Amino acid sequence: MRLTIVIFDGLTALDALGGYEVLSRIPGMEVEFAGLRRGIVATDTRALGLLAYRELAEVEHTDILYVPGGPGGTPLETDEAFLGHLRRLDATSTWTVSACNGAALLAAAGLLKGRKATTNWFYQHRLADYGATFVPVRYHRDGKYVTAAGVSASIDMGLFLIAQIGGEALAKTIQLGVEYYPAPPFPERTPAEAPADAQALVRTFESSMGPALLALPPNFSGSFDVLPTHPPAERGGERRTA
């Protein structure tokens, strides 16, 4: 079984790596990280780079198509080349999954039209824009599509998918292996329960500071060539290419 994790400039690391950490532990799973081009892509913090060692164009098929999110996903919602790869790989995938606003990328590709899905709590309106219905849950399955809420929910989504593929015993074993029994130090259990000022700050960050971060060069750009995936006009500033 093959797991293809799509990565791009400005993704949120845990969106991709949360699900990766558990799904990659399924016995016999082949994992690949794929981007529009091979090379290093910088995450949204600009402090971490992930290696796309496959081009999406090279991937002929996959069993699990995994699309994370992050502020870098927003401009890709109108990138027909990128969306075309998602449509092509989804056509023969057994499962198509997303984390955070990766669901908006699936929706922008037309894959969630008429379906129910979840995504990051403050990005739910984008699903409606593309004809999908938001459900306020940690993860949700609609047919072969499994979508996760924000960031850390990628782990929950991955464990759910493991149970569908290999059974509950395998999922529980992997859950134990990564010791995933979250017990946050605060009483809130859903975004709706979070303090109003915290909600406002997150909304402000996501609407302005997230995109602004993408205009910054990665911390490691002086040591490695970093692949841009957005045109310079959308990123603001010079970027180095491989």
Helices and strands, number each (H, E), in the chain: 9, 11
Strands of the sheet with 2-6, listed across from one edge: 54-55, 30-35, 2-6, 64-67, 95-99, 145-148, 139-142
Identify the helix (H) or strand (E) that includes residue 165. Answer: helix 153-166
Known active-site residue 31: no
Q: Which residues pair with 139 in a beta bridge?
A: 148
Choose the catalytic residue: 14, 40, 100, 103: 100
Q: Are 118 and 98 in contact (CB under 8 A)?
A: no
Q: What is the largest CA-CA distance in the chain?
A: 50
Q: What is the SS3 assignment for 139?
A: strand
Please identify every residue annotated as catalytic.
100
